[in-house]
């Protein structure tokens, strides 16, 4: 299936100092965040990507136009003259379509602008370019395939690190609860879609909640609950924590690399 990735946001919360690198290109180890998301899909055999670009489009294009396989693969340098023999490769079987969808477009508008690349597909995948998980994609796809839904989305527990207070009118606290204890779920991305989604998208609106709201009355929106590893890398702090996890080999999202996936990894949320 084709994979649409939304790469056009400004990512203001990710920036440190004067850095103008778009959020999907923030580095985790030797590769940018966007690469990690793409590598997750490639692990399951989905290697036909459509990148919906906006802010920082030139940076994304330049990275893949000058991609260096040696950064994440073992190789032999032959004879010292620059000839390289790679033991494995990352993106040689990837097809990547780069589409500029506008600097200020919403996610819904970006999806509309790449419509012609996916509308003839029975189903396609879509996701934010800054969200990592180890969710079982084949099982999610099969459940969606058996449903009548137009869209499936990953539903994850709330990610706030704050605590919820239960108190009386005079301010006396009777209970302190973890935010995750609330019986709520939030949008975790990792969408699976049928072309029906284009029937409910509108210019000037967003995909969430506007388009999704139109699917709900006909029970066309499917949530797939997942309580395993999921992490939105929204801020510089998030990226720093993912970098630290990478450096310690604690990377549950890297399903393609068993050396960085400990057998028992605590769920990381915020």
Task: Kindly report, residue by residue over 91-139, the tens digit of the pLDDT.
Answer: 989 999 999 999 999 999 999 999 999 999 999 999 999 999 999 999 9
- Degrees to nearest 5, angle at CA 110 with 107 and 111: 90
As a whole number of angstroms, the distance between CA 119 and CA 32 comes to: 29
pLDDT tens track for 209-257: 999 999 999 999 999 999 999 999 988 889 999 999 999 999 999 999 9
As a whole number of angstroms, the distance between CA 91 and CA 70 comes to: 12
Model-wide pTM > 0.95: no
* Both structure tokens of 265: 């990894």
Is the per-residue pLDDT at 199 higher than 80?
yes
Q: What ranges do the domains of the chain cover?
A: 2-156+185-260
Average pLDDT over residues 184-188: 90
As a whole number of angstroms, the distance between CA 39 and CA 37 comes to: 5
Cβ-based burial of 67 (10 A; exposed 0-12, middle 13-18, buried ≥19)? middle
CATH superfamily of 2-156+185-260: Spore Coat Polysaccharide Biosynthesis Protein SpsA; Chain A (3.90.550.10)
Bridge partners of residue 259, in order along the sequence: none
């Amino acid at each position: 299936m084709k994979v649409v990735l939304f790469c056009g946001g400004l990512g203001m919360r990710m920036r440190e100092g004067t850095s103008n690198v778009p959020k999907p290109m923030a580095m985790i180890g030797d590769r940018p965040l966007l690469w990690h998301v793409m590598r997750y899909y490639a692990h399951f055999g989905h290697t036909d990507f459509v990148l919906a670009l906006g802010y920082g489009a030139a940076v994304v294009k330049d990275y893949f136009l000058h991609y260096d396989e040696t950064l994440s693969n073992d190789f032999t340098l032959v004879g010292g003259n620059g000839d390289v023999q790679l033991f494995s490769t990352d993106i040689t079987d990837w097809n990547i379509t780069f589409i500029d969808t506008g600097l200020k477009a919403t996610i819904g508008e970006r999806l509309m602008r790449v419509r012609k690349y996916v509308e003839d597909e029975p189903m396609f995948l879509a996701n934010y370019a800054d969200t990592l998980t180890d969710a079982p994609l084949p099982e999610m796809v099969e459940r969606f395939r058996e449903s009548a839904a137009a869209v499936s989305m990953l539903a994850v527990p709330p990610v706030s690190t704050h605590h919820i207070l239960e108190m009386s009118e005079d301010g006396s606290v009777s209970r302190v609860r973890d935010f995750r204890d609330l019986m709520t779920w939030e949008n975790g991305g990792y969408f699976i879609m049928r072309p029906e989604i284009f029937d409910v998208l509108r210019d000037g609106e967003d995909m969430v909640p506007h388009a999704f709201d139109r699917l709900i009355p006909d029970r066309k929106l499917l949530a797939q609950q997942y309580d395993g590893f999921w992490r939105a890398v929204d801020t510089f702090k998030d990226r720093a924590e993912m970098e630290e996890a990478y450096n310690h080999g604690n990377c549950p999202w890297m399903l393609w690399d068993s050396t960085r996936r400990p057998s028992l990894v605590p769920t990381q949320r915020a």
